[in-house]
Every structure is written in structure tokens, then in C-alpha cells.
Amino acid sequence: DQCTEHGKWVRARRERKDKSSRRPDSNDDDERHLPFYQLIDLHQYSPRIYDVATSFKFATLASDLLQAERVRLYQTGMFRKAPPATTTDISSQTAQKYNGATSWHTDLGNIPVDTNGYLTFWCPTRNVTSEDSILLYGPGSHIDMAHLQWYGNGRAPAEELEDDGLSMEERMKVRKKRRTTCRRVRDWEDLNLESVKEYRQDEMGKCTKRYHSKSYYKAERLFFKKRQQNKSIIKRQFNDLSRKSERHGIDFHEEINVGDCVAHHGWLKHGATSQTIKNGPREAMTFSYIDGSGTKLASAKTRHGRPFFSRDGSAEDEMSFRQWYFDIEEEGVIDHPKLILVWPQTEDGQRDDNVHHLLEENN
């Protein structure tokens, strides 16, 4: 029940912000779509997710990657991109509402903690490939101080990025050879659609002839038309993300299976396109960890710099940190029961936590 109420609260906040920020003259269907549906801090409601989030494996990985002696669980989450999956809900605005592009962003920009030690494990709940909406990364963007110093949060002039005479496609091939764990996106091929009227691909991969009513064929034509539109939108979204990351390029993992996770730093720029209609919904769990020595960020009145949280509709971030934010004094160490200490652990693998208290409190 608490998860449901939280989801309704986030959805209402997002929809109010989406409505107020929409340009009156905008006709782009893509702008009316929110990037995803998200639930936050599921470990506070599920003992199984709690056990995974505070497990020895995740704790040691987070400690090693952050090079931190003390590591806290900052939050867990579920991200769902849900395109219309069948011919019956093609025109459903609800089905399309939570399948927009995830804009180019950094996670630490919305977290009120003074630290460089933050990372997130992104773990899909089913096998995903490059045909799904997987995270796109700007490699090296989290350590590019030159860009931050000379261009701020803006984009460096394209003519100063790589004056090598290569086209974007040629640069993609060069960067692909430099890396072995991930690769640049491939070219976007047109869909090779079979005849809608007579043929459909069955589950065994064989082409079988089928006959249906006229209404069925009409719905099928609408479905494939939507698929074409969907692919065109995704291509445009990727090109937009690519332009915003010309300085760093874009990498992604071609295949991520269930049980595999991809980790990214809190300052690493990343984003994602919409999920394809062909592949159905895409869901992923996230587990975020933070250096335990971090301190609560001072207010803008006592420091020079940008506000830690811009109210851009990311209500779920506010929902997460407000559980502990007002209990810690400014510039105080983030020592709070809601930010569970997962490392170091005792010799018997037990954690200094209050899982039963959290579960009882939220259920």
C-alpha cells in the first residue's frame, strides 16, 4: 500500500510539473511523455530487496569502486519504461505516458551531499540488448574538470571537440575500437516489416500463413505504423543525446543479462531513449551507494555554487532525501538510520542496521 501511495504521489507531482512546463505551441508528441515510472526505496518495504541491497557482494563492490572505508546505502529504485505493447492499447495515453527519453544528466546534481563518492548499480530484471532502452554513458565525463571549468554545465563548441576531419559515423567506429567492454551505437536500420495482411512470425520463428478479419488487419496496420513512428522517435532521441555528448562520445553495453549489473559514477553523464514497442516494457532495479564520510550540503546562502536540487519534476529524488535531510545539521556527516551503513560489516556478515524497524514502520 505504501508503494502504491508513493507511486501516486510521484505521478501527481510529475504530471503537475509536466503540465505547467509544457510550451503552449508545442506539437511534439515526444515532449508529452515522461521518461519512466519510478518507485523509490523499495528496500524499506521488501525484506528480499533489503537483503540484496545490503549484501556482502554489493557492499564490497561499492567500497572497492568508491575507495571508501565506510559506505552507506543511499537508495534503491525500480525504473519502468512501458510502451504500448499490443494492438488493443496503441492509442492509450496512459500506456505511452511513461516512455519518454531520459535526458542527459548526472545523479549527484540532485543529491544534497558534499561528496564525490557515489555510484549506482543498474540491474535489468530481464535480459536486455541494444534494441532495448539501456543506459547510454558519456565515458570520462565524471572526471572532465576542464569541461566544467571552461564551459560550466553547457556544451563545448563542436568545432573545438575533435578537429580531425572525421564524420560522426567515422568517429563512432574509431571509438568502438578503443573500448572492449562497451560499444558505440550502431547505425539505425529501417524496420524490415513483413506483409501485414498474410504473414505473421510465430513463436518458433517460422513464417505461417494466417487469415483474420478486416478489423484485425486494420489494427495490425495501426500497430506497425506506431512501431515505425516509435523507431523514428527513438532515432531522434539518440541523435539529440549524441549531440549533447559530442565531447565524450556515447558508450553502452550491448547485452546485459539478468543477474548482471552496470555501475556508473554519480557525476557520470548518462541518459536513455524510449523503449521500443517491439520489445515491450523494460524494467530495471537500481542500488545506489554513497561514501559514508560525506556531509550534508550547506545551503546556497553560505556557499557559492548552484542549488543542489532544481525542481525539474524529479519528485522522487526529493521523496528520497527528505526522509533524513531535516534531521542532519548543515555540513554534518550523513549518519542517519535511513542511510544504512553497509560497509564495514562484522565478521559474521551482520550489519549495524534496523531492518525490522524500517519494515514495520513502512508496512
Give a yes or no: residue 322 inside a domain: yes
Backbone dihedral region for residue 152 (phi beyond 0: left; psi -120 to 50: alpha; all else: beta):
left
Q: Is the pTM of this model over 0.85?
A: no
Average pLDDT for 146-166: 58
- Confidence band for 285, pLDDT divided at 50, 70 and 90: very high
Residue 187 placed within a domain:
no
* Position 286 in a domain: yes
Note whether residue 186 is domain-resident: no
Q: What is the pLDDT of residue 8?
A: 52
Residue 267 counted as domain residue: yes
Number of domains, the chain: 1
135-148 b/e with 16+ CB inside 10 Å = b? bbbbbebbebeebe
The CA distances from residue 37 to 17, 41, 284, 316, in Å, are: 15, 14, 11, 10
Positive or negative CA dihedral for 143, 147, 149, 154?
negative
> Whole-angstrom Cα distance, residue 322 to residue 339?
12
Chain segment 80-104, per-residue pLDDT in tens:
888 765 434 444 455 456 777 888 8
Domain presence at residue 179: no
More confidently predicted of 131 and 168 = 131
- Residue 318 covered by a domain: yes
- Residue 288 contacts residue 265 (beta carbons within 8 Å): no
pLDDT of residue 55: 96
Q: What is the pLDDT of residue 309?
A: 56
Question: Of 16-30, 235-249, 334-348, where does the model show the most confidence?
Answer: 334-348
Q: Do 95 and 281 touch, CB atoms closer than 8 A?
A: no
Least confident of 134-138, 258-262, 267-271, 302-306: 302-306
d(CA 86, CA 320): 34
Beta bridge partners of 122: 262, 286
Q: What is the CATH number of the domain that holds 53?
A: 2.60.120.620
Q: Which residue has 553547457 as its cell numbers?
A: 154
**Does some domain include residue 183?**
no
Residues of the domain holding 141? 2-159+193-362
> What integer best gives the mean pLDDT of the chain?
71
- pLDDT number for residue 254: 80
